[in-house]
Amino acid sequence: MNFLQTVNEAWNSLYSNKMRSILTTLGIVIGVAAVIAMIAIGTGAQDTILNQISGIGTNLLFIFEGNEEDSSITVSPLTMQDANAIGDVFAAPHVELVAPVIQGSGTIKFSGETKSTQIFGVTPSFQAVRNYELIEGEFISEENVNGRASVVLIGVDVAEQLFGQSENLVGETVTIDGQPFRIIGILAPKGGGQFGSQDNVVLVPITTARSRLMTREQGKVDIIYLKAISADSVPEATSEVQEILRKRHRTDLGEDDFTIYSQQDFLTLASSITNVFKIFLSGIAGISLLVGGIGIMNIMLVSVTERTKEIGLRKAIGAKKKDILIQFLTESSLLSMMGGILGIILGWIISALVGSFATTQGVAFQPQVDLGAILLATVFSTAVGLFFGIYPANKAANLEPVEALRHE
């Protein structure tokens, strides 16, 4: 039989039961829309996170204390002396800059307005290592660090909250955890990041942070940021730092009591996490597609029972098993394919809505509807229709013509 005619006949049959066909299709529409939207959102989230990590700088290294693979070892903390040792050009020629940091959180106030914020105790090299730019003022200087000066650089979020503006604030005095600090500069906006907003921060000299804001053992630091001289020299820089720290922590025989991450490690970690996230989301969406398929099977079974007499007649005038099988399979795949197409459109709309919502929230996040997902959804939804159509169609094809004709 002619293919177009078969499709046309299937369409007529579905059209004559409009409401039922629409409701059946809805199951597939929702399933496919969910798959499309989830993959798009997952891909968008992945892109955003990976871009932000790349944005940190490809030659950045982080040193934390402790060993994440073995928590039983005794850990001697990272110290300022460690940072100075790593900064030695002769011992670590591939390390360009070292920025020891202690970090915590606190409340910053200005005439009644308050904001909870992250506090970083830093040295002058922090600016270059983390690529901070200033709207106005100056960064923390060596003198500030040596003199434990009560000076602070504030992020734009903090400035907006406290002053309602982010300019002409140098020289104002704010209080952090009850202690007065003079503003010496405003940090330029960096946007959201995977570790929270990078604009809701304040930077103070590391010495001031230790003596006034956070309790730390003498000389201890939380993280040491490093900048390798280039992206290619990250492995050399890593091994130089390992050697220095093993020597200093006397761990050359045992396990390391520190961990070095490169930006590459974060990228790998983040992309494997987001991949799991993506598979998880599309798995859930896939379940709804399966439920939609069962809906199709259900309706096709009802349809076969209803049309038993028609099937009997078709067989009486010469329809073979194959003809009946094709007729019903065409109907079920047409149902699911239309559901698939509508689902793709709906999924696309949902992704776009999520994207524009994220934009209004100031998150740079764009869901990615890619061709692969669309192809997958089309093929998969049609396959669902075929698969769940097989049982009812087979039932129809195997009806005895005499029995079927007698059916009322």
Partner 1 sequence: MDKTVIKIKDITKIYKLGDIEVPALCGVTFKVKKGEVISIMGPSGSGKSTLMNIIGCLDRLTSGEYILDNEDVSNLDDDQLAQIRNQKVGFVFQNFNLLSRSTALANVELPLRYAGITENRIEMAQKALESVGLGDRIHHKPPELSGGQQQRVAIARALINNPAIILADEPTGNLDSRSGDEIMELLLGLNKDYGTTLIIVTHDPKIAARTARTIQIFDGLIKESKS
Which listed range, 188-196, 294-302, 387-395, 398-406, lies at the site for partner 1 (CB under 8 A)? 398-406
CA distance 302 to 97: 73
**Binding string to partner 1 for residues 315 to 354, with x set by CB under 8 A, is what?**
xxxxxxxxx-------------------------------
Instruction: State the DSSP string of 327-355.
Output: HHHHHHHHHHHHHHHHHHHHHHHHHHHHH
CA distance 141 to 278: 45
Using CA of residue 329, residue 335, residue 338, residue 339, what is the dihedral sign?
Answer: negative
Which listed range, 24-32, 60-68, 283-291, 397-405, lies at the site for partner 1 (CB under 8 A)? 397-405
CA distances from 183 to 65, 149, 166, 174 (A): 31, 11, 12, 7
Are 286 and 278 in contact by the 8 Å Cβ rule? The answer is: no
**Does the protein bind partner 1 through residue 313 (CB under 8 A)?**
yes
Looking at beta carbons only, is 317 or 371 nearer to partner 1? Answer: 317
Residue recorded with tokens 């499309």: 36
Which listed range, 9-17, 144-152, 168-176, 220-228, lies at the site for partner 1 (CB under 8 A)? 9-17
Residue recorded with tokens 């499709």: 7
Report CA 329 to chain centroid distance, whole Å.
40
Going by C-beta distance under 8 Å and a sequence separation of 6 or more, which residues neighbour residue 408?
309
Residue 344 CB, nearest distance to partner 1 (Å)?
29
Going by C-beta distance under 8 Å and a sequence separation of 6 or more, which residues neighbour residue 144?
151, 184, 205, 208
Looking at beta carbons only, is 113 or 403 nearer to partner 1? Answer: 403
**Does the protein bind partner 1 through residue 231 (CB under 8 A)?**
no
- In this structure, the number of other CB atoms found within 10 A of the CB of residue 142 comes to 11
CA angle, 121 then 124 then 126, to 5°: 65
- List, as own/partner pairs, every contact residues 267-273 make where C-beta atoms lie below 8 angstroms and the sequence separation is at least 24, other chains included: 267/50, 267/53, 267/54, 270/46, 270/49, 270/50, 270/53, 270/194, 271/46, 271/50
**Of the candidates 57, 189, 193, 401, which one interacts with partner 1 according to CB under 8 A?**
401
Q: Which two three-digit tokens encode residue 161?
A: 């909250």
Residue 16 CB, nearest distance to partner 1 (Å)?
5
Looking at beta carbons only, is 15 or 195 nearer to partner 1? Answer: 15
Task: Please compute, for residue 102, the number of CA atoms within 13 A of its CA located in the half-sphere on the CB side.
Answer: 23
Residue recorded with tokens 């439920």: 291
**Does the protein bind partner 1 through residue 394 (CB under 8 A)?**
no
Looking at beta carbons only, is 170 or 405 nearer to partner 1? Answer: 405
Residues 251-310 that bind partner 1 (CB under 8 A): 309-310
Looking at beta carbons only, is 182 or 320 nearer to partner 1? Answer: 320
Looking at beta carbons only, is 312 or 339 nearer to partner 1? Answer: 312
Residue 272 CB, nearest distance to partner 1 (Å)?
55
Residue 398 CB, nearest distance to partner 1 (Å)?
9
Report CA 67 to chain centroid distance, whole Å.
26
Looking at beta carbons only, is 199 or 310 nearer to partner 1? Answer: 310
Residue 10 CB, nearest distance to partner 1 (Å)?
11
**Of the candidates 130, 210, 278, 314, which one interacts with partner 1 according to CB under 8 A?**
314
CA distance 92 to 119: 29
**Binding string to partner 1 for residues 170 to 199, with x set by CB under 8 A, is what?**
------------------------------
**Of the candidates 16, 71, 74, 215, which one interacts with partner 1 according to CB under 8 A?**
16
Looking at beta carbons only, is 284 or 402 nearer to partner 1? Answer: 402
Residue 402 CB, nearest distance to partner 1 (Å)?
5
Looking at beta carbons only, is 182 or 322 nearer to partner 1? Answer: 322
Are 398 and 315 in contact by the 8 Å Cβ rule? The answer is: no
Residue 387 CB, nearest distance to partner 1 (Å)?
24
What letter does residue 65 receive in the DSSP assignment? Answer: E
- Site residues for partner 1 per CB under 8 A: 1-2, 5, 9, 12-13, 16, 309-310, 313-323, 400-402, 405
